[in-house]
Amino acid sequence: MSALDTHPGEGRQAAALAEIREIVGPKGWLDDPEARAPHLTDWRKLYTGRAAAVVRPASTEEVAAVVRRCAEARIPIVPQGGNTGLVGGAAPHEAGTEIVLLTDRLSRIREVDPVGNTVTVEAGVVLQDIQQAAAEADRLFPLALGAQGSCHIGGNLATNAGGLNVLRYGNARDLVLGLEVVLPDGRVWDGLSGLRKDNTGYDLKHLFVGSEGTLGIVTAAVLKLFPQPRQVMTAMLAVADPAAAVSLLHKAQEASGGQLVAFELVPKFAIDLAVAHVEGVENPVGGDTGWYVLLEFATPSTESAFIDALEQFVEKTFEEELVVDGTIAANEAQRAGLWRLREAIIEAQDRAGAQLKHDVSVAVAKVPDFIAEATAVAEAEEPGVRVVAFGHVGDGNVHLNLVQPEGADGAAFMARSDALSQAVYDVVVAMGGSISAEHGIGRLKKADLAARKSPVALDLMRKIKRALDPDGLMNPGKLLE
Ligand code: FAD
Ligand code: ZN
């Protein structure tokens, strides 16, 4: 029986909740149903649950005291950061037996160290605020994603977030040097040394990165900083097809000496949707080709030769007819406009009707075949379906969204979603890919994980879960079944 199904004696639970209320104080206890409501549902509104309490501890010590009390009274806990996750991981279940533990008051940037190139932050710091603090110290914190104005670093680490700059700087896992974690029994693991070299056995921090709140609560982290870019070049280039895009990727890496930070593939159909549905968005590139690449180079060097070489590179891709049209941002406003267009395609798809999202990855070289095959199976399964395959192609990560056929009944389309998703996942798995590249598993994909991950890997994951959280109190019913 999981912790979710248990009904702790009402008296015992009530006593524990009263003590927890004392621990977090009035500012740390959400009573008002209106204030609680946004924390009981996920960003996509796929799941809406209930909670025994919604608490906001203000320090690691308070988190530890709350968790200890919950462990004693067998109360399950759902950690929640910015609640921007896309797989329902931070929403409580319908039973109402869990407490939701918000990290928003763990909001201190403890230290910026420009010599060691590190920043030490608490779990509830908003990603954008870390980027800003790094910039103020003339450094770069490179994790960047659409939700950066709301997501918390604790959530980024718990989901091993990816985003736009993974190509050059890696994902959240690659950016972390140390963690502080409150374990399911309430003990605190202080792994904040921030050492760049430390081979003293198992690297525990990596157990918690990507664990989606199922092994403990991240309360603080030491993160890597990098030199600030001094020169940036952003371009949107039209290409014939995804194969041309992958060829362009390779050439762009070579021409820039590895200083390519972002490489996003977007089908023209998605750009057209964005221009049609989202105000203030324009497509500065003509061309009748079906695909665009948004790419960005950045270097800490101030040598003008860098930009000259890139301009020559772009010219050459035109001469070779690899690129058929395009624009290079001439100033910051134009650069922002290109990124706005990239963000707008997500908003636009929502307005085009019901859609089924997939966040998958395959080897970069296989991206063109994957897009072709997945499109073919989706169209065979659902004639008229509109396929929007876009995303971080430089990392082999495709967001394959299936938008309902024009004029069709959205609810009927979604009722067939499982057959469509399984057809797409069959293609992914046959190509040796992953059914979740960056958004994680949460509640949404746990059945798919159980069906698709190797039995050996699943066995190891379950053993780790049982070793750290034997009573199953940490975000039960998420990630693992
Ligand atoms: P939440 O949604 O609050 O939580 C996510 C999971 O982590 C839950 O399982 C929760 O229980 C757990 N958790 C949260 N905090 C902690 C903690 N302190 N300790 C332990 N567990 C914790 N994701 C990408 O990877 N790349 C993208 O490019 C990207 N773009 C996005 C764009 C938009 C517009 C939106 C809405 C989302 C996007 N996401 C993206 C998804 C989402 O932003 C990330 O998953 C993000 O890392 C979640 O952070 P959060 O603070 O909102 O976490
Ligand atoms: Zn993404």
Q: Residues 436-454: pLDDT tens digits?
A: 999 999 999 999 999 999 9
- The answer to whether the CB of 389 falls within 8 A of the CB of 267 is yes
Q: Give 9's pLDDT tier (boundaries 50, 70, 90).
A: low
Q: Which two tokens stand for residue 157?
A: 């680490």
Percent of the chain with pLDDT over 90: 90
Neighbours of 431 (CB within 10 A): 18
Residue 47 has pLDDT above 80, yes or no: yes
Centre of ligand 2 from the C-alpha of residue 399, in Å = 7
Ligand 1 atom with minimal separation from the 80 CA: 3
Q: Give 12's pLDDT tier (boundaries 50, 70, 90).
A: confident
Average pLDDT over residues 138-163: 97
Which residue among 46, 157, 159 has the greatest number of ligand 1 atoms within 8 angstroms of its CB, and so is best to mutate?
159
Centre of ligand 1 from the C-alpha of residue 250, in Å = 30
Is the Cα torsion angle 104, 110, 114, 118 positive or negative in sign?
A: negative
Q: Give 4's pLDDT tier (boundaries 50, 70, 90).
A: low
- Residue length, the chain? 481
Ligand 1 atom with minimal separation from the 79 CA: 11
| Ligand located closest to 357 CA | 2
The residue contributing the CA closest to ligand 1 atom 26 is: 163
Q: Tokens 């000259």 belong to which residue?
A: 308
Centre of ligand 2 from the C-alpha of residue 225, in Å = 22
Global model pTM greater than 0.85 = yes
- Position with higher pLDDT, 91 vs 269: 91
Q: Tokens 């990098």 belong to which residue?
A: 226
Q: What residues form DSSP beta bridges with 222? A: 120, 178
Ligand 1 atom with minimal separation from the 219 CA: 18
Q: Tokens 């070299």 belong to which residue?
A: 197
pLDDT at 286: 75
Residue type, 388: V
Residue 3 has pLDDT above 80, yes or no: no
Q: Which two tokens stand for residue 197?
A: 């070299």
Residue type, 340: R
Q: Which two tokens stand for residue 75?
A: 């109360």
Ligand 1 atom with minimal separation from the 127 CA: 51
Round to whole Å and give the CA distance between 233 and 405.
Answer: 38
The answer to which of 79-83, 105-109, 302-306, 463-467 has the lowest mean pLDDT is 302-306
Task: List, in order, residues 6 or more apart from 76 with CB less than 8 Å away.
Answer: 3, 4, 70, 97, 98, 99, 472, 473, 474, 475, 476
pLDDT at 352: 85
The residue contributing the CA closest to ligand 1 atom 1 is: 83
Centre of ligand 1 from the C-alpha of residue 151, in Å = 6
| Ligand located closest to 400 CA | 2
Residue 7 has pLDDT above 60, yes or no: no
- The answer to whether the CB of 156 falls within 8 A of the CB of 124 is no
Centre of ligand 2 from the C-alpha of residue 26, in Å = 38
Q: Give 395's pLDDT tier (boundaries 50, 70, 90).
A: very high
Ligand 1 atom with minimal separation from the 154 CA: 18
Task: List, in order, residues 6 or more apart from 69 with CB less than 8 Å away.
Answer: 16, 19, 20, 23, 75, 186
Centre of ligand 1 from the C-alpha of residue 37, in Å = 18
Angle 58-61-66 from CA coordinates, rounded to 5°? 80
Q: Residues 281-323: pLDDT tens digits?
A: 889 897 678 999 999 999 999 998 999 999 999 999 999 999 9
Q: What residues form DSSP beta bridges with 387? A: 402
pLDDT at 280: 87
Residue 6 has pLDDT above 60, yes or no: no
The answer to which of 7-21, 43-57, 102-116, 351-365 has the lowest mean pLDDT is 7-21
Residue 350: in which H helix or E strand, if any?
helix 332-351
| Ligand located closest to 160 CA | 1
What residue ranges line ligand 1, CB within 6 angstroms?
A: 43, 78-86, 89-90, 103, 123, 145-147, 151-152, 154-156, 158-159, 161-163, 212-213, 217-218, 438-439, 442, 475, 478
pLDDT at 1: 40
Centre of ligand 1 from the C-alpha of residue 36, in Å = 19
What is the dihedral angle through the alpha carbons of 435, 437, 438, 441, rounded to the nearest 10 degrees?
A: 20
Centre of ligand 2 from the C-alpha of residue 438, in Å = 7
Average pLDDT over residues 99-108: 98
